Structure 1
Amino acid sequence: MTKLYPLKFHPILIDKIWGGEKLSRYINKKSDSKELGESWEISTVPGDVSVVSNGRLKGTSLQELINQYPIEILGDHNFKRFGKEFPLLIKFIDAKRDLSIQLHPDDRLAKERHGSFGKTEMWYVMQADEGSNLIIGFNDKVDKDTYLYHLENKTLTSILNFDEVEEGSAYFIEAGRVHAIGAGVMLAEIQQTSDVTYRVYDWDRVDTNGNERELHNDIAIHAFKFDLKDDFRVEYGDSPNESNEMVSCPFFTTNFLPIQGELSRNNTYGSFIIYMCVNGEVEIITEDFRETISKGETILIPASVKDFNLISNNANLLEVYV
């Protein structure tokens, strides 16, 4: 069997009507586009499958590796749960303009309608212009009829919750929770593997041909969570060389991991581990391999890689596993 090692991938760069230039300016994504909206770091979404960029497996797709080494990549319990499907999609996002107001179906609805996972996700803000906002949930109790009234009368934003953000702000968004990334925000996104989005309002904007983007209100209404819950802001510690828990849910766990000096890790999670570097630079060293990631880069530690060291003068990582 090929001995696996920490895997980096070529980013999949995607232009969006709301995208900008921060991904190329701040985290070195190679693009001349002025509408670069997303960098998909780790993906097995059909048509957008990540390809290894380092080591002897360079040029191999992640799905090929999972097909060949499912337990070694995913871990035993993830293989039993997901088969040869990779359960997460990892992104960096730059919103030069407001994203549409949207939500995502849960696992049951997504499987029934789209043959897909649902989409529960979280955000970590890497940079935000002064006064930038995210929309998450409602600002008061809302039922279906109230929502539909405001949607019909183009007053939807009056009942939505706007949160002003800054670097380091973090949010957890359950499937069914209405949300939007506001203009001026660049963030890291961790989500279930799904590209299913129900767009309910797009600020009445049109493309260069004068066409509005498709809305999905007929099907979105069945996916909504209308309950008023103020539990989406993520509070977390920042103790150096410790995995400070941010989010733990059935779909993923994310920790905030500041590295100062050298940290020895033993993978006791029984899962692959993903590290997203959100600040600084860190070296990952195994018995026979070493790799470096810097701000805006991501690496996948296969489940079979049990022992490794992380070395940095001062880096911040998001540590993700299932």
Structure 2
Amino acid sequence: MTTSVAPFRLKPWFSPRPWGRKSLKPWYEDTGTTELVGEAWLTGPQCVVEEGDLEGKTLESLSPKLGGEFPLLVKLLFPNEKLSVQVHPDDAQAQAAGEARGKTECWYVLEAEPGASVMLGLKPGVTTEQLAASVADKTMESLVEKVPVSVGDMLFVDAGTVHAIGPGVVLLETQQTSDVTYRLYDYGRPRELHLEQGLKVIRPKTEAGKVAPRQMDGFTRLIEKKYFTVDRFDLGEMEERPITLAGPACLVGIKGNVWVITPGEEIELEPGKAVVIPEGTGEVIVEAEKAASFVRCVAPPRAS
């Protein structure tokens, strides 16, 4: 597949959440709202192009030029309190409920306070009946595996996995472009629960868990799964690197600034922002003046 669209940088879209934070510094100076912000969507459908010929257009509006909806929703998560205990359906389950696709995701830990943890998967032997009963007596947490996390951990969150995120972390989440979430338990917050739908899609055992990094030629492979591959690149002073991309992709700034260079264009990539690399671009050059790190998130090539 070829594309006539050059790479472009998106402006993050900030999503208020009751478990979020007032300030997202040092990642973002200003969120434009006084509400608690829990998520910065870097490749959300409503994110707008920041500069160039496409400035002001939303990612969603560019779908026809990109060969379809951008398949990866990449976010930064900023929990100040525990998120709800939840589960996501797989593709078949979501489509049976009238949704476009399911939601398989992964979390890359960018910051973690001592003792930080997530919840990932049911403990062995836990039944859906026990899970349902635990809502009323507020014991659901005791039925889910607690996983300590530290900076640099990558966690796979398979569809059907009961999970939750605790406070004290900043996570880079890469997921299928979907917001289908079934909330099982919410610590008494006045938000809707989706227990009936959630219990139907829970799988007692999934592939969820920590994924060990693999050193590749010039980068670190953090995870490689059906819907996405995520790699980390660390560049030294005045270093440049050719980056090849097979499917729809984005680069996300993690530390320091880099320049994404294509014929006739240079785009500055800062921490907490994403540059979309349309499928068919082939190769870009990434250059750093000072030490910098970024992540490459790639979806499988679309069927031509």
d(CA) in 2 for partners of 1:315 and 1:25? 16
Question: Which runs of structure 2 are paired with 1:300-319 in the superposition (5 Å)?
Answer: 300-312=276-288, 313-319=290-296
SS of 2:17 mapped into structure 1:
strand
What is the rounded CA distance, in whole Å, between the counterparts of 2:250 and 2:19 in structure 1? 27
Structure number with the higher helix fraction is 1
Does residue 1:215 correspond to 2:193, yes or no?
A: yes
The match for 1:279 among 232, 255, 258 is: 255
Match of 1:138 among 114, 117, 122: 122
Cα distance in 2 for residues equivalent to 1:288 and 1:122: 34
Q: Which runs of 5 or more structure 1 residues have no equivalent in the other structure?
A: 72-83, 206-211
Give every structure 1 segment of 4 or more consecutive aligned residues whose post-TM-superposition deviation is greater than 6 Å: none
CA drift at 1:51: 1.5
- TM-aligned CA distance change 1:133 to 1:196, over 3 Å: same
Query: Are positions 1:196 and 2:188 aligned together?
Result: no
Moved more, 29-38 or 87-96: 29-38
Matches within 5 A, 1:100-249: 100-205=84-189, 212-227=190-205, 231-237=208-214, 242-249=218-225
Structure 1 pair 36–24 and aligned structure 2 pair: CA distance change class (3 A): farther
* Residues 267-303 of structure 1 deviation map (CA, whole Å, 9 limit, x = unaligned): 3x1x122111122221111121001112211111112
How many Å apart are 1:200 and its aligned residue? 0.6
Which of 294, 297, 303 is the equivalent residue of 1:320? 297
Q: How many Å apart are 1:216 and its aligned residue?
A: 0.8
User: How far apart are the structure 1 equivalents of 2:297 and 2:13?
Assistant: 20
Do the aligned partners of 2:10 and 2:273 also contact (CA within 8 Å) in 1?
Answer: no
The 3-state SS of whatever aligns with 2:48 is coil
Q: Which amino acid aligns with 2:61?
A: E
Does the Cα contact within 8 Å between 2:5 and 2:66 map onto a contact in 1? Answer: no
Counterpart amino acid of 2:203? K
Decide which moves more: 109-118 or 305-314. 305-314
Q: Is 170-179 or 150-159 further displaced after alignment?
A: 150-159
Q: Does structure 2 conserve the Cα–Cα contact (< 8 Å) formed by 1:121 and 1:172?
A: yes
CA distance in 1, matches of 2:162, 2:3: 44
Q: What is aligned with 2:269?
A: 293
- d(CA) in 1 for partners of 2:6, 2:106: 27
- The total of aligned residue pairs comes to 295
Q: Deviations over 1:229-277 (max 9, x none)?
A: 57510211466x724222222211112222231112233x1x1221111
Aligned partners of 1:307, 1:321: CA distance in 2, in Å? 13
1:139 to 1:320, Cα distance in 2 relative to 1, 3 A: same
Name stretches of at least 5 consecutive residues in structure 2 with no aligned partner: 300-304
Q: Report the Cα distance in structure 1 between the residues aligned to 2:41 and 2:162, rounded to whole angstroms.
A: 22
